Structure 1
Amino acid sequence: MEFLYEYGLFVAKVITFVFAFIVIVSTVVGVANKQKPGKGHLEITSLSDQLKDVTQYAKEVLLDKRSLKKLAKEQKKESKAKSKSDTESAAPRLFVLDFKGSMDASEVEHLREEITAILCVADKQDEVLVRLESGGGVVHGYGLAASQLQRIKDKGLALTIAVDKVAASGGYMMACVADKLLASQFAYIGSIGVLAQLPNFNKLLKKNDIEFEQHTAGEFKRTLTVFGENNDEGRAKFKQEIEEIHILFKDFVSAQRPSMDIDRVATGEYWPGIKAKELGLVDDIITSDDYILSHYPKREIFSVKYSIKKNVAEKLGMSAANVAERVFMKTWSKARHWF
């Protein structure tokens, strides 16, 4: 009997704890959902200072005392000479932006703010580097993103785009706007094509005696449908629309890179950076890191980022998503290997 009493008391404590935990979490999430979205703010970070700190730390670790003493004297001398020079002109700047695009290209809203900020302060001798990563997405979203990049060139600033991983389809539409387009050796480049697909559940509805009605005004207001019965006329019109978008895509790329054989590369294929350079899709094979280092310390280098402060609910959601992603990737890596 005493054992049952102790066991019952333990179970009651566990139930109480779980119930209290659920109530607390529900309250926090409820309050968080009522919070207004955070207001965005601009973050400008000196990458030159970061590189300077890294260089200084490495020297302090690797050099002997004699070399360090000599280095300190040289740095002191350089600092005095720089402070006495009143006629020294400001060093040209390199502004670095990061664009990691999703299917709906929602990140273009942040890109717009970042570019606007740069255009308000940049001079003609300054340069903008965009580290771009995207496998493409919706036409109108990436069309707007490409137009945002065009604003930089329209103001007379040099625009360099570096692709370390992938710039395909809509991602390449953005990338080809650059005055100078860089890629790493095995970055995926290209996919100048258009894709559209959708399922059709009409047969399933008929099998279960479910009727579906759709009314339109205009012959081609709806070409293909998910639930209705599609016909050859609708399919032909849908195919025609895709071909027209492809032509616009090809014309846009040709205007940005006129020396490239557009018919050879506008097949929907993609290539690694090395092959892409041979085809004229990119200008040089180099990583964004090496390109930034090539301008240090001749230029003042700044990272420009527009961020929006997340509320509690968004942070909880992101944390859960990150945990799930790590678990999935760990499991997947054990199941197979990939290049």
Structure 2
Amino acid sequence: MDLLFEYSLFLLKLITYLILIFIFIISVSYFFKKNIKKKYKLKIKSISNFYNHIIDISFKNKIQFNKKNFIKHTKWDYKKPILYVLSFYGDVHASEVSHLKKEISIIISIIQPNDEVLLKLESFGGTVHEYGLAASQLQRLRNHNIKLTVVIDKIAASGGYMMACVANYIYAAPFAIIGSIGVIGQIPNFHRLLKKNNIDMEIHTAGHYKRNLTMFGENNDHHRLNFQKKLNITYKLFKDFIFKMRPNLNIEKVSNGDYWFGITALKKKLIDEINTSEDVILKNMKKFNVISIKYIKSRNIFNNFILNFLKKIFTILN
């Protein structure tokens, strides 16, 4: 019995120590995550002649960056204009727009005559307001008379094509997915499930159109009709925007929600030429000094070490 008692006491102490260690790790992790100062840096890479030198410049010091300063670090023909290469990989919420707008602001602030911008775009679309903002950011380049070329290697559908159509010229790979010009709205409704389980759901509104469809309340034809009206309004704005950017399109034929591969999209004038991003960049190296610009978050080295250490601890514990 004494042996069993001592063993139980040992296990209790061990469990207590493990719990304390776990609490300590959680506390330290929370402290570092809370106090990490997110710094931003501009990653600039020379693509021309595959020069592998990378210069990181703090966004705070972006004013110090100009064409001559960068050329000092690269073996370029300074008489050539610059082709700035950007990348955008879109999710449903077009999350990268927060970086894209800063990259565009930097380019606008340092652009020289005959410089151009090339955007490598991949997106299956998403929410209207997010992709509307992303397209507006690209439109800033056109407003400053900066030639914009978009290259689509895989997909630019729905909101992704809304962004692409802003370009002066669009390339796409032969089997890239292009189009899907339309609007979709879907929402589940749990009203009958709640009613079956005797759960009431009350919704109070002020304003006739304050609520359209709801997930938990009871929807009726009035709500559905109003929701459809909103979709139709959004759809018309979408079509008008694309037609404004590409007036040669037969907008009624291509705005039925369908999508096409690059080869067919060319025939429908949704794009201007079949090619891939790598070939387009290689072709432009004869005329331009080509650099890629990427605005990224960076963390303190010590903070990175601590976070990586904590991740390994959590992996072991799990």
| Alignment-derived partner of residue 171 in structure 1 | 160
For the pair 1:91 / 2:42, whether they are aligned, the reply is: no
Q: Which runs of 5+ in 1 are unaligned?
A: 55-87, 324-339
The answer on whether the counterparts of 1:192 and 1:269 sit within 8 Å (CA) in structure 2 is yes
Residues 161-200 of structure 1 mapped to structure 2, 5 A cutoff: 161-200=150-189
Counterpart Cα distance in 1 of 2:293 and 2:156? 21
Structure with the greater alpha carbon radius of gyration: 1
Question: How far apart are 1:32 and its partner, in Å?
Answer: 2.4
| Alignment-derived partner of residue 290 in structure 1 | 279
Cα-Cα RMSD: 3.1
The answer on whether the counterparts of 1:161 and 1:182 sit within 8 Å (CA) in structure 2 is yes
Q: Secondary structure at the match of 2:217?
A: coil
Question: How far apart are 1:266 and its partner, in Å?
Answer: 0.5
The answer on whether the counterparts of 2:36 and 2:299 sit within 8 Å (CA) in structure 1 is no
Question: How far apart are 1:177 and its partner, in Å?
Answer: 0.5
| Alignment-derived partner of residue 47 in structure 1 | 47
| Alignment-derived partner of residue 225 in structure 2 | 236
Counterpart Cα distance in 2 of 1:13 and 1:282? 69
Question: How far apart are 1:272 and its partner, in Å?
Answer: 1.1
For 2:30, the aligned partner's letter is G
The answer on whether the counterparts of 1:193 and 1:268 sit within 8 Å (CA) in structure 2 is yes
**Larger displacement relative to structure 2 (282-291 or 206-215):** 206-215
For the pair 1:100 / 2:89, whether they are aligned, the reply is: yes
Question: How far apart are 1:308 and its partner, in Å?
Answer: 1.6
| Alignment-derived partner of residue 69 in structure 2 | none
Residues 219-258 of structure 1 mapped to structure 2, 5 A cutoff: 219-258=208-247
| Alignment-derived partner of residue 157 in structure 1 | 146
For 1:195, the aligned partner's letter is I
The answer on whether the counterparts of 2:45 and 2:52 sit within 8 Å (CA) in structure 1 is no
Counterpart Cα distance in 2 of 1:211 and 1:12? 47
Q: Secondary structure at the match of 1:95?
A: strand
For 1:42, the aligned partner's letter is L
Candidates 301, 304, 308, aligned match of 2:297: 308
The answer on whether the counterparts of 1:123 and 1:157 sit within 8 Å (CA) in structure 2 is no
Could you report, residue by residue, the CA deviation over 1:8-33 in whole angstroms, capped at 9, with x for unpaired residues? Answer: 9x989996996576356424422223
Distance 1:52 1:35, change over 3 A: closer
Counterpart Cα distance in 2 of 1:283 and 1:315? 47
Counterpart Cα distance in 2 of 1:14 and 1:280? 71
| Alignment-derived partner of residue 78 in structure 1 | none
The answer on whether the counterparts of 1:100 and 1:107 sit within 8 Å (CA) in structure 2 is yes
| Alignment-derived partner of residue 262 in structure 1 | 251
Q: What TM-score does the superposition give when structure 1 sets the normalisation length?
A: 0.75
The answer on whether the counterparts of 1:139 and 1:170 sit within 8 Å (CA) in structure 2 is yes
Q: Which runs of 5+ in 2 are unaligned?
A: 54-76
For 1:39, the aligned partner's letter is K
| Alignment-derived partner of residue 276 in structure 1 | 265
Runs of 4+ in structure 1 displaced over 4 angstroms? 10-21, 310-316
Counterpart Cα distance in 2 of 1:266 and 1:303? 33
Question: How far apart are 1:211 and its partner, in Å?
Answer: 1.2
Higher relative helix content:
1
The answer on whether the counterparts of 1:135 and 1:168 sit within 8 Å (CA) in structure 2 is yes
The answer on whether the counterparts of 2:29 and 2:307 sit within 8 Å (CA) in structure 1 is no
Q: What TM-score does the superposition give when structure 2 sets the normalisation length?
A: 0.80
The answer on whether the counterparts of 1:160 and 1:180 sit within 8 Å (CA) in structure 2 is yes
Percent identical: 46
Counterpart Cα distance in 2 of 1:135 and 1:148? 18
Counterpart Cα distance in 1 of 2:134 and 2:155? 16
Distance 1:293 1:315, change over 3 A: farther
